A and B are shown apart, each in its own frame.
Chain A
Amino acid sequence: MNNKNTKFLSPGHNGCAGCGQLSAAQAVMRGLHKNVIIANATGCLEVTTTAYPQSAWGLPWIHSLFENAAAVASGIKAALNKKGDKKTKVVVQGGDGGTFDIGFGLISGLWERGENVLYICYDTEAYSNTGIQASGATPYGASTSTSPSGTVSSGSTQRKKDMLAIALAHNLKYVAQSSAGFPDDITNKVKKALETDGPSYLQILCPCIPGWKINNNEAAMLGKLAVQTGLYPLLEYINGQLSASSINSNFQAKAVEEYLKKQGRFKHLKEADISIIQKLAAENIKKYKI
């Protein structure tokens, strides 16, 4: 989209062909400007874009560890404050493993201190980078390498952790959820979050080709289906109030089966499991109706 020289995320990275996360990352980059410093947690985004000695990033970008991206961002913010630089924004990027599980404590600290940092979580619903192990973001019924489906088990028995509620419990001024099938929605939410004075959180559903066992060209379609079934609505909370939701008066829910049957990680599910997931969608539709 942008001119080659001004690109914040260049081609030539090692992401899978059709990667939902990199598609979302391109949309995020269109929402940023040149006065941004990015701190990146370990994960697919870091590994695929910075194979040493090369980097795909066109913005100041730092990677330290899996768990401490939020703390690194705090450090950058402290240095900027000391220099009196109010113009430069700090953005953290992490996957669901780094956000929901490993970096969880330090993210809570960042939010508790009320620092002006935007945290973006690319939610692939598993540890995609290390071989699709289940994370706190893995939904009910998904088969992963640590929750495999078989004669005894029908995939993950746990429910997805509600990170939005946890973010809201920290009194964040801007909390939003989006999905990789809606690039303009992502870009708009990034722009809004950057303007917020104080910490903000954006969580983006990113279909993962090997993790979800889908075809190369299906990432955007599944990102859209997750929203259309009510399983992953587009949401926006401003000052703790739900101000925008994809579950509005025009919303007509599609059956979750349509979303599940297209993915290898759900193909083992029987009627009973599908009806449990349908109930989860119904709960969402009730909860996020605007």
Chain B
Amino acid sequence: MKAPITNLSAQANSSLANKTGSWRTVKPVINLNTCVGCSLCAKLCPEGCIEMKKQIKTEKIKAKINYDYCKGCGLCAHECPVKAIKMENDF
């Protein structure tokens, strides 16, 4: 008898279905007045859930966190060179 062929492939980027934001107990909050738009937080984030976005009014580039996926590790707040990110309780 032939062994059944099992499909062990997965759709690309299908992990987006897991909203890992529910892991969070503390949340990073960016002070847009202090943020200088260096993008270090976006480069370091293990989730890759920080984007650099142009502000509508000022046209300056600032960091924006996607809270659907942020696990609240605090790496961004710890490394921010201008201390623009503060960790706040999220429960």
User: Which chain B residues in 36-53 approach chain A with CB under 8 Å?
Assistant: 39-40, 42-52
User: Which chain A residues in 39-89 approach chain B with CB under 8 Å?
Assistant: 49-59
Bound Cα distance from A20 to B51, whole angstroms = 19
> Do A1 and B39 form a contact, CB below 8 Å, given A18-B73, A26-B45?
yes
Q: Is there a chain B Cβ closer than 8 Å to A37's Cβ? A: no
- Chain A residues whose C-beta falls within 8 Å of the C-beta of B66 in the assembled complex: 11
Asked if residues A11 and B48 are in contact (CB atoms below 8 Å), the reply is: yes
Query: CB-defined interface of A5-26 with B at 8 Å, one 1/0 digit per residue?
Result: 0010111111111111111001
Asked if residues A221 and B47 are in contact (CB atoms below 8 Å), the reply is: no
Residue of B with least CB distance to A186? B43
Q: Is there a chain B Cβ closer than 8 Å to A219's Cβ? A: yes
Asked if residues A23 and B45 are in contact (CB atoms below 8 Å), the reply is: yes
Which of the four size classes fits the interface of chain A? 35 or more
Residue of B with least CB distance to A26? B48
Asked if residues A55 and B72 are in contact (CB atoms below 8 Å), the reply is: no
- Chain A residues whose C-beta falls within 8 Å of the C-beta of B20 in the assembled complex: 11-14
Q: Is there a chain B Cβ closer than 8 Å to A204's Cβ? A: no
Bound Cα distance from A12 to B75, whole angstroms = 17
Asked if residues B13 and A22 are in contact (CB atoms below 8 Å), the reply is: no
Asked if residues A217 and B48 are in contact (CB atoms below 8 Å), the reply is: no
Checking A19, A57, A58 against B46 with a beta-carbon cut-off of 8 angstroms, the contacting residue is A19
Asked if residues B15 and A11 are in contact (CB atoms below 8 Å), the reply is: yes
Q: Is there a chain B Cβ closer than 8 Å to A216's Cβ? A: yes
> Do A55 and B51 form a contact, CB below 8 Å, given A12-B20, A26-B43?
no
Residue of B with least CB distance to A221? B78
Interface centre among A13, A52, A59 (most CB of B within 10 A): A13
Residue of A with least CB distance to B7? A53
Smallest CB–CB gap between A209 and chain B, Å?
8
Asked if residues B51 and A57 are in contact (CB atoms below 8 Å), the reply is: no
Residue of B with least CB distance to A50? B10
Smallest CB–CB gap between A12 and chain B, Å?
4
- Chain A residues whose C-beta falls within 8 Å of the C-beta of B79 in the assembled complex: 220-221
Interface centre among A20, A50, A54, A217 (most CB of B within 10 A): A217
Smallest CB–CB gap between A21 and chain B, Å?
8
Q: Is there a chain B Cβ closer than 8 Å to A183's Cβ? A: yes
Asked if residues A216 and B73 are in contact (CB atoms below 8 Å), the reply is: yes
Checking A7, A9, A50, A219 against B75 with a beta-carbon cut-off of 8 angstroms, the contacting residue is A219
Q: Is there a chain A Cβ closer than 8 Å to B33's Cβ? A: no
Give the B-binding residues of A (Cβ under 8 A).
1-2, 4, 7, 9-23, 26-27, 30, 49-59, 183-184, 216-221
Q: List 13 A-B contacts (CB under 8 A).
A: A1-B42, A4-B16, A7-B48, A10-B15, A11-B68, A11-B69, A14-B20, A21-B46, A23-B46, A26-B44, A27-B43, A54-B17, A220-B79
Report the 10 A-B pairs with minimum CB-CB distance, sorted nearest first.
A18-B73, A217-B74, A12-B15, A11-B69, A17-B71, A17-B73, A22-B46, A55-B10, A12-B18, A56-B15
